[in-house]
Amino acid sequence: MPAMTDTSMNTNMHSAFTREIGRLRDGLLKADLSDAKATSGLTRRYKFFSITLHQHHEGEDTLQWPVIRPKANPHEITVLDAMEAEHEALASVLGAVDEDFKTLSANSDKDQVAARLDELDTVLLGHTQHEEREGVAIVQKYFEEDDLKAFVKFSRNSQDASLVLPWVSDGATPAEVASTWAMIPAPVRLFVKPMLTRKYTRFTKECGV
């Protein structure tokens, strides 16, 4: 079975996570947290981001690294160990931000929440750069197409999974947009892309972010 060579969707997701933290931070600082609608919309938007990030890393931890580990050499195992440790560090920071948004209100300290988002951005960027520098080559070497099918199926079962492709495309480069939508076969994409894009546009409008 051939190994998976196209990992562009993974790097596209990384870029989307970084952009989303920026959106959330800007939305938070601009929002009137005494306005229940604004606060609810911001919380909803953050929940989508958090669930998507948790799901992405859970998929790697349960469906990707365990498949690769038995095939990897000692140096590659060291890299995999680092990936898992970085996921744990990320989960800790993300958990703190999750709590901030669960209790978001007029009494929240915007600057403190924004600082936690900045910390999350720093930790996440360090991890994604490391993964793209050393982890991706290991995935391309050992992760097979059938393994990818299981990973994609898992990802599609996440809450609001239908928003992910247009979300990844929001603010992306033309090349990133093209490779993101290439996840769907062309004949199906012709009908599905406009439908999912409209759904994401509506979601963005309702959230206000």
C-alpha separations of 178 from 76, 78, 182 in Å: 31, 34, 6
Distance CA 195, CA 165 (A): 11
Quick one: which of 124, 127, 130 has its CA closest to 50? 124
Q: 99: which 2 tokens?
A: 């709590």
Alpha carbon distance 22, 47 (integer Å): 15
Q: What CATH number does domain 8-161 carry, 3.40.630.30, 1.10.357.10, 1.10.10.10, 1.20.120.520?
A: 1.20.120.520
Output the six-digit token pair for 23: 């959106």
At 85, which amino acid appears? Answer: A
Q: Confidence class of residue 105 from pLDDT cuts 50, 70 and 90?
A: very high
pLDDT higher than threshold 90 for residue 179? yes
Provide the whole-model pTM: 0.93
Q: Is the pLDDT of residue 109 over 60?
A: yes
61 touches 136 (CB < 8 A): no
Mean pLDDT of the chain: 93
Q: Which H or E run includes 72?
A: none
Mean pLDDT, range 143-154, rounded to an integer: 83
Per residue in 63-85, is it b (16+ CB within 10 Å) or e — as a string? bbbebbeeebeeebbebbeebee
Q: How confident is the model at residue 175 (pLDDT cuts 50, 70, 90)?
A: very high
State residue 176's pLDDT score: 97
Residue 144 φ/ψ, nearest 5 degrees:
-100, 165
pLDDT band at 145 (very low <50, low <70, confident <90, very high): confident
More confident residue, 5 or 92: 92
Domain parsing of the chain, residue ranges: 8-161
Q: Which band of pLDDT confidence, cut at 50, 70 and 90, is reported for residue 66?
A: very high
Average of pLDDT values for 81-104? 96
- pLDDT tens for 31-46 read 999 999 999 999 999 9
